[in-house]
Structure 1
Amino acid sequence: MLISIFSPKGGVGKTTLTLSLAECISKEKKTCAIEFDFSPGDFPATLDVDKNKNILKAINFGINETIQRPYKQNFDVIAGGYPDTHEKIDSDKLNKLIDELINEYEVVIFDIQPGLIKNSVDILKRSDKILIIMEDNIPVSVRTARILNWGMQNNAIDINKVNIVVNMAKGNLKNIPNDVVKYVVPYLGNKITFQSNTLLKQMSGLVDVILERNKKGLFKKSQKSVDVKDIERFVQEKIQEILEDDTSEELNITINNNENVAIVQSEEKEACKLVYIKTNIESLNNVLKNEISNNENIEGITDDFNKCSVAIVSASSKEEIDKLVDSNKNLVLFLSPNRNDLREYALEKGIKYVYVGECSISDIVYVAENMIGKPHEENLLNSVLNNENKTKSEIQPETRQEMKPEVKQEIRTDTRLEINPEIKQPDAMTLEEITVLVGNYVEKRINEEKSKMTAEINNLRQENEQLKESLELKNKEIEALKSDLDRKKKAVEQFKELLSSF
């Protein structure tokens, strides 16, 4: 069975639901989840898998070279690609990969990126089930209607395979007709993960829907039935509303059969004010998300790289830096200590804010606020110094507090953050301090694992003692049998001697 999971916009929890669904299905069927997302994907960070074993490598070299089994999981995965990956995917090779996956697995789940591209349509056409993840709001319902309308008109989406799933629902649905919704996942909080028990419980119900089976037990009930005509009516009503409302956002739909170009792409009328945060230090991510979420000039945090204006990220190679630069996002880059080679390379590529040493959280928030809404090209202006001033660009971020004001004004384009003098700066959080936080977390996890291992060792010891006691009893029984045998042998010898005397 091939399942496609798609959403008309990012940030609706599509990937979280995909992984949770994969975990539930894998308990009874051999399952593989594929991240068909061409931004720095979530699978490697969420599941701690190798990002280089991605969808492009799978297409070119097969699944044996790219399949990974996440730690303590029962399903396999293939990681996603980078922004330019979709341009390198051959449609015929993609179909061969799908054939290979279907032959190897009972259930194959494709987590498709929000913006449809040509190859995404190829996957949708081959899918047995199409799960469209929505939120209960008007913009999402409008986008969904438009995409379904386009898909039906161009024979790209079989409406009979569509199952609409509403995620993060708060009470009764207000903007989506209940008769078109196949399944509803309630709002479970901001900190929900794909492994949360509450979400897994919800996904087990969705598994029943996908496999088209009724719930078992005393209070079993049949699955909700959705009439395809109701979905078609919903689509037509929304399309009619759009035609009557000139203020609705425009949706460009184009197709090119010779190139893998975007075919469904939403045009946002306002500049994006979202920040994407994903460094290699989880504690730093949490601190930044908390600070930026409280900034009134920033719309919020997004987990969708494609939807952000500013990306605060890490990189460990020149290739990763190239991908980030090609994404055309405003970047704040964190590098591992002693990676000045990457720092220089990032500066040459035009990344203005690069950190390999001390960092101030408030500085980063201030930079993100300044870059919000500005085009990438504007933030690149004067980002690389002239050769005669190159020595100035080599000043490490940790020296910024020691610089004279006039010198600071001369090198506003190097890796140091531009500090707003009107904002009171809190103490900087150094990488050493961050390391301590991470160390405490790691130590806690180690202690937890150590406790589990100690308990297991104690259980094994108890079992060993029981085996020893059992073995001793067996040995005593054997000794008793030997003694009895010796006694009988002596009796036989005595009997033989008695016979010989006659």
Structure 2
Amino acid sequence: MGKIISIFSPKGGVGKTTLTLALAEVLQKEGKTLVIEFDFSPGDFATLLDVDKTKNIELAVVYGLSSAVQKPEGKEYFVVAGGFPETHEKINAEQIKNLLSEARNNFDFILFDIQPGLVERSIDVLNNSDKVLVIIENNQYVILRFARIIRYISTRIKDLSKVFIVVNKANPRQKICIPDEITGEIIPWCGRLHEPWDRKIVFHVERLKQKLLEHRFTDTEKLIEFTNEILRKHNINVSTQYGEVKDGMIYIMTNIQSLDDLLKNRFTDFVTDDISKSRIQVLMCEDKQKIDEAARIQGFKIVLTSYELERYAYEKGFEYVFAGAIEIPKITHAIEDLISRATAEPERKLIKESKSEQIENPEQVVEPEQIEEKPDEDSFSNPVEDSEEELFAQDLKQEVKNIEEKSTATEQTENMQDVEVFISNLSSAVTQLISTEVSMFLKEHSKNMEDNQKLKQEITKLLEENQKLKERIAELEEKLKKLNKIKELITSLAGGLDE
């Protein structure tokens, strides 16, 4: 029976897909390996691996795994491409169960590259996985999101001990914020990678693979204790029974049932049905009256409306306005941002103070791009032992009034990672679109060339037959001339006999 390994990250842009494909490169040497892109954004496999995006997860659960499995050119492992935003709503638990069973029976290793925004069927995959790799980065924002997602999945999956935490893009001169007891592996910053199977990342994934296969369990109590500590530091309520939330925060009413269900499931810990108790509202506003009514409600607003009313909504001071087509990843990101602001307003101050401290003490900061790339050395074996207070900046008291003019730049820096992820996703989508259009053009062009070739052959054949026909007509004309001469001769002879 094959081993199922799920790879998940609480936030996009931390290197999850890169590590998944690098791990596939390594595991295929140990046994027959399959990578399933459980991403409904859609994901990056079609672009990165140049595979057919129609042979995807939806096809696999409906017609069987064999109908969707592809082997990328030049690779020794197999893949199934991700689906589209509406796909996950069509998949049920029984189909996932059958997919997992078929995968276990046909492959030694099955990797699930799970999208950051968990959907219901993701929980089914996590529950049935032998290992769950959680990819994070060594910064406060990602670790806070990690704590939140662990709290969420702790109520949904049966065994947290199979969680294997990987700290990616680590700065070797900074102490890791995750305790050693629950950290499975640390991978240093490897520079800008041109492809997921770059030797610099594969080198480190080799060791990750070894630790992963030897990993028995994670100390669940210490994992919960750590995540609870993070949540408390950011003023997020944590009840005695892990995973429970005492008060709802988000009121969701878009009048689109599938979207409401998706968002309520995604943020189940925070949802309330009482709009008067909510601090965040996600609303559909079809006209100015609805926008005006929403503006009178206290709290943060996410409004879905038409293009014609977009400007009017922004003038009412709403934090997020989505006009026209619904983009679920953007709405999810907006909700996560507002949760951070509503439940953990000290978090944003904390990050700014931490960055201010770094500006005043630049010698303590080493940007990832400045780290010398040493893929053949354990570059993080001797980290600098910073204090817990410096890492989380929880008790920073130093005045930052003298750097107020730099606040704008600080805020921009704070959002650069999300911008890079957006640009990367946009670039992937554009590349995929162009690739599809070019592929269709080439297929059409090839078909036209074949048709032209057949037409040329038919014309050549007709010309040959025409030439033969002309030659035959010439022969008949020649025979006709001879017959006419014979006729004239006979006629002449007949006249002579008459005389």
Query: TM-score, normalised on structure 1?
Result: 0.50
Give the alignment of 1:204-243 within 5 angstroms.
204-212=206-214, 227-243=219-235
- Show the counterpart of 1:162: 163
List per-residue Cα deviations over 1:419-462 (Å, max 9, x = no partner).
xxxxxxxxxxxxxxxxxxxxxxxxxxxxxxxxxxxxxxxxxxxx
1:315 to 433, 442, 446: 433
Structure-1 separation of matches of 2:80 and 2:439? 30
Q: Does 1:46 align with 2:41?
A: no
TM-superposed deviation, 1:253: 11
Counterpart code for 2:116: P
User: C-alpha separation between the residues in 2 aligned to 1:17 and 1:55?
Assistant: 20
1:418-437 pair list within 5 angstroms: none
Please list, as runs of the form range in 1=range in 2, the aligned pairs for 1:86-125 lying within 5 A after superposition.
Answer: 86-125=88-127
The answer on whether the counterparts of 1:180 and 1:234 sit within 8 Å (CA) in structure 2 is no
> Given residue 230 of structure 1, which amino acid in structure 2 is its aligned partner?
K
Shift in Å, 1:302: 3.6
Pick the structure with more helix per residue.
2
Alignment-mate amino acid for residue 140 of structure 1 = V
Aligned match for 2:76, one of 74, 77, 86: 74
Q: 1:124 to 1:259 in 2, by over 3 A?
A: same
**CA 1:13/1:64 → structure 2, altered by over 3 Å: closer, same or farther?**
same
* Structure 2 residue 10 is matched with structure 1 residue 8: yes
1:125 and 1:143 map into 2 onto residues whose CA distance is 20
Q: 1:360-410 deviations in whole A, cap 9, x for unaligned?
A: xxxxxxxxxxxxxxxxxxxxxxxxxxxxxxxxxxxxxxxxxxxxxxxxxxx
| In structure 1, distance between residues paired with 2:45 and 2:221 | 36
Instruction: Give, in whole Å, the separation in 1 of the partners of 2:433 and 2:161.
Output: 43
Cα distance between partner residues in 1 of 2:128 and 2:187: 26
Q: Which residue of 1 aligns with 2:28?
A: 26
Letter in 2 for 1:136: N
d(CA) in 2 for partners of 1:308 and 1:21? 25
In structure 2, the CA distance between the partners of 1:308 and 1:49, relative to structure 1 (3 Å rule), is closer
**1:263 matches 2:275:** no
1:29: Cα distance to partner? 1.2
Q: CA deviation at 1:155?
A: 3.6
Q: C-alpha distance in 2, partners of 1:162/1:338? A: 43
CA separation in 2, counterparts of 1:269 and 1:155?
23
Q: 1:28 deviation in Å?
A: 1.1
- How much is the aligned-residue C-alpha RMSD, in angstroms? 3.7
SS at match of 1:111: strand
* Number of residue pairs aligned between Structure 1 and Structure 2: 283
For structure 1, list consecutive stretches of 5 or more residues without a partner in the other structure.
214-222, 271-295, 321-334, 340-502
- Report the counterpart of residue 153 of structure 2 in structure 1: 151
8 A Cα contact 2:47 2:432, kept in partner: no
Give 3-state SS (helix, strand or coil) of 1:74's partner: coil
Amino acid at match of 2:44: D
Q: CA deviation at 1:64?
A: 1.4
The answer to whether the 8 Å contact 1:124/1:157 transfers is no
SS of 1:211's partner is: helix
| TM-aligned CA distance change 1:157 to 1:165, over 3 Å | farther
Distance 1:238 1:72, change over 3 A: same
Change (3 A) 1:314 1:27: closer
**SS in structure 2 of the partner of residue 243 of structure 1:** coil
Q: Name the aligned partner's letter for residue 137 of structure 2.
A: E
Q: 1:200 to 1:306 in 2, by over 3 A?
A: closer
**Residues 342-371 of structure 1: CA distance to partner in whole angstroms, max 9, x if unpaired?**
xxxxxxxxxxxxxxxxxxxxxxxxxxxxxx
2:58 counterpart of 1:56: yes
**Overall identity of the aligned pairs, in %:** 37
Shift of residue 230, structure 1, vs aligned partner: 2.1
The answer to whether the Cα contact below 8 Å between 1:68 and 1:76 also exists between their aligned partners in 2 is yes
Give the Å deviation of 1:118.
0.4
Deviations 1:190-213 (A, max 9, x none): 225221112111111111112107
Give the conservation status (yes or no) of the 8 Å contact 1:151–1:157: no
Query: Contact 2:44 / 2:428 at 8 angstroms: preserved in 1?
Result: no
- Counterpart of 1:160, as a letter, is S
2:273 matched residue in structure 1: none
- The answer as to whether partners of 2:40 and 2:82 remain within 8 angstroms in 1 is yes
State the Cα distance separating 1:148 from its structure 2 match.
1.0
Q: Answer yes or no: is the 8 Å Cα contact 2:47–2:428 preserved in 1.
A: no
Aligned counterparts of 2:427 and 2:25: Cα–Cα separation in 1:
33
Equivalent pair of 1:117/1:263 in contact (CA under 8 Å): yes
1:222-242 Cα shifts (integer Å, max 9, x gaps): x9x853332121111012113
Residues 38 and 31 of structure 1, relative CA distance in 2, 3 Å threshold = same
Shift of 1:159: 1.3
CA apart distance, 1:24: 0.3
- Pairs within 5 Å for 1:53-452: 53-152=55-154, 154-156=155-157, 158-171=159-172, 172-212=174-214, 227-243=219-235, 262-264=265-267, 267-269=335-337, 299=416, 302-303=420-421, 312=430, 315=433
| Structure with more relative contact order (C-alpha pairs < 8 Å, separation 6 or more) | 2
Amino acid at match of 1:315: L
SS at match of 2:229: helix
* Shift, 1:180, TM fit: 2.1
Q: Is the 8 A contact 2:14 2:168 kept in 1?
A: yes
How far apart are the structure 2 equivalents of 1:48 and 1:230? 42
Query: One-letter code of the match for 2:219?
Result: D
After TM superposition, give the deviation of residue 112 of structure 1 in Å.
0.2
Q: Give the drift of 1:61.
A: 0.7
> Cα 1:120–1:304, aligned 2, differ >3 Å: closer, same or farther?
farther
Ranges in structure 2 where 5+ consecutive residues have no aligned partner: 238-247, 253-257, 268-331, 339-411, 442-499
Q: Is 171-180 or 118-127 further displaced after alignment?
A: 171-180
Cα deviations across residues 247-270 of structure 1 (Å, max 9, x unaligned)?
xxx99699x9x9666424552448
Per the alignment, residue 399 of structure 1 pairs with none
Query: Is the radius of gyration larger for structure 1 or structure 2?
Result: 2
Q: Distance in 2 between matches of 1:65 and 1:59?
A: 9
Confirm or deny: 8 A CA contact 1:20 1:203 kept in the other structure. yes
